Amino acid sequence: MPETFVIKIHWFFFAGICFEKCLNGGKCIQKDTCECTKGYYGLRCEFSRCIIPCLNGGRCKGVNKCRCPQGYGGDHCEIIYGTRFTSKRNSKRNHGSRNARGHNRN
């Protein structure tokens, strides 16, 4: 009499299943867990890091890019716009911009 074999095959799915999509190039590595690309963090990689910090109250809006408050500019909010200051060498008022260290940008 021939023998009968029963073979059970179990398939495992190794890629993660994330209920919400990972953002900014992040990759789902296990259930609801994203592996973020460099410069991003958060459950879905929704937040970006500024390696060079934003100055003067600016907020990071992308990798090393800041959203600056009114009156400031530059990649890291290091430029102060529209300020009036008096130079020691010249008593005339300037209407230009200067950087965070007070150097004239005109």
- The more confident residue out of 44 and 106 is 44
CA dist., res. 4 & res. 81, Å (int): 84
- With bands split at pLDDT 50, 70 and 90, how would you rate the model's confidence at 48? confident
End-to-end CA distance of the chain: 99
Evaluate if pTM is beyond 0.85: no
What range does the domain containing 43 cover?
15-49
- Measured distance CA(71)–CA(94) in Å, rounded: 15
**CATH for 35:** 2.10.25
Tens digits of residue pLDDT in 53-102: 899 999 988 778 899 999 999 999 999 997 655 444 444 444 445 555 55
The rounded mean pLDDT for the chain is: 75
Q: Indicate whether 41 and 72 sit together in one domain.
A: no
Inside any domain, residue 72: yes
What domain count does the chain have?
2
65 in the same domain as 44: no
Query: What dihedral do alpha carbons 35, 37, 38, 41 form, nearest 10°?
Result: -60
Residue located via tokens 């934003």: 54
